[in-house]
């Protein structure tokens, strides 16, 4: 596999902004097809249409669950996962219950993970678990989440939703997203069968390559065209 193809097949092309309509979905699925990325990551209602647009290609359909804040009841996340898979999703990106993680209710988090893992395993789909690292007070929370994802058999641990905005000192809301420090931490504390996905803030080829070196094997991106055109210039 050449370098450009390797990079393309690490990209989950994100089509998640709340303003995106069906026309935008069609446009972005065409981008995913043109650049032959690993997958698209779409909103739940869009799965069926995305699956139809990408039918017969090597681009998988992923769907977000409990997005972006992770507050849905466990049973709702299970149902949402089941519907997404029925509609054609083969990859599931689920946000954990962030409040429960912050209060260190690890029993609840384990129950939630186990419930959704059971659905994905039964249906041959993969589960990526979004921690929203920007909200975590220190490394111990991220480490514990990695341990629980390993224990329950999740397929990926993932840094961010891309929508986890934290109030800054100046009053603005922003986020760091996928930091190299957090990615290395997640790789170190996840089991060998658990992969790492970076999401949030990976907008150019140079940072993409740095992220690759941490051991991440999937990268969520909206800047897919810019990243892959730069890769063609450099490696093509």
Mean pLDDT, to the nearest integer, of 113-126? 98
The percent of residues above 90 in pLDDT, for the chain, comes to 93
| pLDDT, tens only, 197-209 | 999 999 999 999 9
pLDDT on residue 12: 98
Catalytic-residue membership of 87: no
pLDDT on residue 165: 81
Q: Among the options 87, 93, 134, 155, which is catalytic?
A: 93
State how many domains the chain has.
1
- Judged against a pLDDT cut of 90, whether residue 210 lies above it is answered with yes
Could you tell me the CATH number of the domain that includes residue 112?
3.20.20.70
Q: Decide: 120 and 91 in contact? Cβ < 8 Å.
A: no
Please give the residue range of the domain that contains residue 105. 3-235
Mean pLDDT, to the nearest integer, of 43-48? 98
Catalytic-residue membership of 55: no
Catalytic-residue membership of 197: yes
Q: Among the options 77, 128, 195, 197, which is catalytic?
A: 197
How far apart CA 81 and CA 22 sit, in angstroms, is 21
The percent of residues above 70 in pLDDT, for the chain, comes to 100
| pLDDT, tens only, 148-192 | 999 999 999 999 998 988 777 788 877 788 999 999 999 999 999
Q: Among the options 87, 134, 155, 158, which is catalytic?
A: 158
């Amino acid at each position: 596999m050449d370098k450009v193809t390797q990079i393309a097949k690490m990209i989950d092309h994100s089509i998640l902004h709340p303003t995106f309509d069906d026309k935008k979905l069609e446009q972005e699925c065409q981008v995913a097809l043109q650049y032959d990325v690993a997958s698209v990551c779409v909103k739940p209602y869009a799965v069926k249409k995305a699956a139809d647009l990408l039918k017969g290609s090597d681009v998988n359909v992923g769907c977000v669950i409990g997005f972006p804040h992770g507050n849905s009841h466990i049973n709702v996340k299970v149902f949402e996962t089941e519907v997404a898979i029925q509609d054609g999703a083969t990859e599931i990106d689920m946000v954990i219950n962030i409040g429960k993680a912050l209060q260190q209710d690890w029993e609840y988090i384990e129950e939630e993970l186990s419930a959704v893992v059971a659905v994905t395993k039964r249906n041959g789909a993969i589960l990526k678990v979004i921690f929203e690292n920007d909200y975590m007070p220190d490394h111990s929370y991220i480490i514990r989440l990695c341990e629980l994802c390993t224990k329950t058999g999740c397929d990926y641990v993932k840094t961010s939703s891309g929508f986890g905005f934290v109030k800054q000192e100046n009053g603005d809301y922003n986020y760091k997203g996928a930091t190299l420090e957090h990615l290395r931490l997640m790789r170190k504390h996840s089991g060998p069968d658990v992969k790492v996905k970076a999401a949030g803030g990976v907008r150019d080829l140079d940072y993409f390559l740095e992220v690759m070196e941490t051991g991440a094997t999937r990268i969520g991106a909206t800047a897919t065209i810019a990243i892959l055109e730069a890769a063609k210039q450099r490696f093509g």
